[in-house]
Amino acid sequence: MLVAVLFAGTSSAQQVAGEIPASPDTLRICASANENPYTSKDGSGFENKVAQIIAKAMDRKAVFVYTEKPAIYLVRDFLDKNQCDVVMGLDTGDERVLTSKPYYRTGYVFVTRTDRNIHIKDWEDGQLEKLVSIAISVGSPAELILKAIGKYETNMNYMYSLINFKSPRNQYVRLDPSRMVNEVIQGKADAAIAYGAEVGRYVKASSVPLTMEFVPEDRVADGQGKTIEFNYSQSMAVRKSDGEILKQIDAAIAKEQSQITKVLEDEGIPLLPIES
């Protein structure tokens, strides 16, 4: 397997074959090479910056092990195979791994043009009638809530047009979060419903005033008594056998939480209180 290894602070990636040896002097971070705003080979992703803060606090050098694969495959194809020590930004409590104490919490948001004056207070809000075309990611909680409130069928054609009508069956299809925001900016979408960490950067950078507000809580349980969860705490993840590294990561997060939060705020991510 070919992977690209980039030592933080260098300008180019070195192509190497096979496993990159673990070292007490380095922290190997597996990352997708093209998954902005999270990670990017040019180091511009906010998770790149958080990882470097953590590595420095651990007295280690951050080494990014990049792949062209989407980030959803990092645990299975890289962490589990000892190609790296840590994966950034997994849901706290992910059962496949050991997860650190959360370093931020955010949720799904409505993104609308400010001049539309749309503010959704609950899922029965009359203003939902104004939302004909809604940009969402296939398979997300946003899709589930549109099904629950009866707006999925009317939005389905538009939703699939954003991914060029590719079928998500048996393959991962990612909708670039910048496109969701641009659809709103250009008036092609009445709103986007997206995870705050994905779109904060693009909302902040927009020259057209945009409004970003957390979606309301789902208060109507389904037939199994379950509601749709929109808010998630995010952690760093290590293998279940790497409890000692996890202790060091937890200590680094506690030490540098204010610096981490500044990176997230500068990114434009809307933050929620971290649950203890």
Same domain, 131 and 82: no
Cβ contact 188:205 at 8 Å: no
Task: Look at residue 276 in the predicted model and tell me its pLDDT.
Answer: 67
Give the CATH number, domain containing residue 259: 3.40.190.10
Instruction: Supply the mean pLDDT for the chain.
Output: 91
Mean pLDDT of 8-22: 51
38 or 276, which is more confident: 38
Task: Look at residue 4 in the predicted model and tell me its pLDDT.
Answer: 53
Q: What percent of the chain has pLDDT over 70?
A: 92
Same domain, 197 and 131: yes
Domain presence at residue 95: yes
Q: How far apart are the first and last CA of the chain?
A: 40
Domain presence at residue 275: no
Mean pLDDT of 6-28: 63
Same domain, 69 and 111: no
Q: How far is 209 from 39, CA to CA, in rounded Å?
A: 26
Task: Look at residue 6 in the predicted model and tell me its pLDDT.
Answer: 56
Same domain, 110 and 205: yes
Burial class (CB in 10 A: 0-12, 13-18, 19+), 155: buried
Domain presence at residue 85: yes
Domain that residue 89 falls in = 2-104+234-267
On the question of pLDDT at 172 being above 90, the answer is no
Same domain, 180 and 138: yes
218 or 6, which is more confident: 218
Same domain, 198 and 127: yes
Mean pLDDT of 260-267: 98
Mean pLDDT of 161-174: 79
Cβ contact 181:169 at 8 Å: no
Task: Look at residue 12 in the predicted model and tell me its pLDDT.
Answer: 33
Task: Look at residue 2 in the predicted model and tell me its pLDDT.
Answer: 37
Same domain, 94 and 114: no
Mean pLDDT of 38-57: 97
- The pLDDT tens digits for 62-116 are 999 999 999 999 999 999 999 999 999 999 999 999 999 999 999 999 999 999 9
Q: Total structural domains in the chain?
A: 2
Same domain, 34 and 59: yes
Domain presence at residue 274: no
Domain presence at residue 121: yes
Domain presence at residue 226: no
Domain presence at residue 225: no
Same domain, 189 and 245: no
Domain presence at residue 224: no
Same domain, 92 and 111: no
Write 256-260 long-range contacts (CB < 8 A, 24+). 256/53, 256/54, 256/57, 257/103, 259/53, 260/50, 260/53, 260/54, 260/103, 260/104
Task: Look at residue 62 in the predicted model and tell me its pLDDT.
Answer: 96
Same domain, 154 and 180: yes
Instruction: Find tokens 């400010």 and name the residue.
Output: 114
Is the pTM above the cut of 0.85? yes
Same domain, 98 and 124: no
On the question of pLDDT at 10 being above 60, the answer is no
